[in-house]
Structure 1
């Protein structure tokens, strides 16, 4: 019997190597070590148990208790590293963080998710992957200032993402390639207004209302940020703004946009929510 030349004892050479088994407790411990500053150490009263601590800024938060065998499995698989000394704290290794990124990414693109911040958009045949790290507002929401707070709050980030999706759906920006999925009608081109779908027209109306609510002084900046996805430094160069001034103006513009969408930094309940109809006063 002839053997497949592309096969080995471990299977076809094109197959993806399986992750090293670490057990359910190991998976939970790996996820507990993911936050910045998290570490695990042996319980002084019970040497067979690991205690996880996390948090930064001088505040220590409990992260749970795990069996010591789970930590040994992580160390043997090079997913965690043990510090020298009698306490021997465990911290997440680069291989462990890469494994978490593969697990959290799309099932069909695990190794791309290891290096990129992939987000799945759409459903079915319209499903596509996008690298969120390319977005300047995604960079701002993850970057922290000197006070430890993010440069952009979650409400402003969600407002910018909503505007970006509406701009893409409205097809207001020039396409850099051929759209093979768009329907074609005899005598109509891709930019024929009569051939636009109701979804496209509704998105255009939402974009128009959002930019009108923000104002002419900041609407152009939002188009650059959320539509053309221009970086902050590029915006400063093109508009001849001082260095590091674009993020300040962007926070103001995205804050106005969040107010237009009715998004707030924290939930306040119906008694403190923004009034939308006059009859709500009754």
Structure 2
């Protein structure tokens, strides 16, 4: 027998979850849902199966159960009633997603605990941030966080969908703040506001360059839960970039000094003279690239020094998709071995201050 919903579901609930609840809790048949959506019943069936498979995640299962109780049984859902509004959910999720975007941040959920915590791996527990179980369940239901290590202590990382939503939400807030500042001059300077008929050009979203391709790969985990790139491999890649950047800076400074030091009576500029530090950095970078050899030094130069993305590097080199990260890991392993051998040969302790 078909059971009607006590009240409409919140607007932030994904359409697939709404159809799943209408079928499992409301008693609406798949064919009826397909007729309402004007699609084939197999399309609705695949959507319902996807949601059913996601219920293996305890957070997603709890969120769906609470929505079913609140909107089909008419009972109160204390964990989720404060997030029925989409605006309230976005405001609460913004702080959680901002912390999860940090390197090494995870959302830990312990079985039997009322709250989850956001911590950064390797840091003291004093920096933890408590999160309501209801909010964590909504984030998992929306696909903004995903479980990477199941068990009694489950760990959740932010997903690419969550990062996209966080970037879009931050851009909206930035645009709103900018609009308020511009409106503040409207009384004295009304000419700054666009007139009717003028085409307003969309502002390009700003992005930060503090995160390198190596940092993005370092957040990935393999099937066993281990980081795709060890910290030593990331440091080796940043060390290569350090030598590359120091050599480039030294070349520019030497060329500038040679240009301004040229006499007016001289017909051509003197060849620039590099400093000892710049020459040493250039020598180290050249030796590292020579040690990698052709193929490996191409991907290392593009991703570590020029900060090109893996997709761009694969397209430029003519490689197959998703093969660049494997080759880059091999290159970083040989690069680490080269630097270890060089440090042992020179017998010098190197500073840990790296670029990026």
- Please tell me the TM-score bracket, short chain as reference: 0.3 to 0.5
Specify which structure has the higher proportion of strand: 1
Specify which structure has the higher proportion of helix: 2
For the pair shown, which has the larger CA radius of gyration, 1 or 2?
Answer: 2
**Structure 2 length as normaliser, TM-score?**
0.37
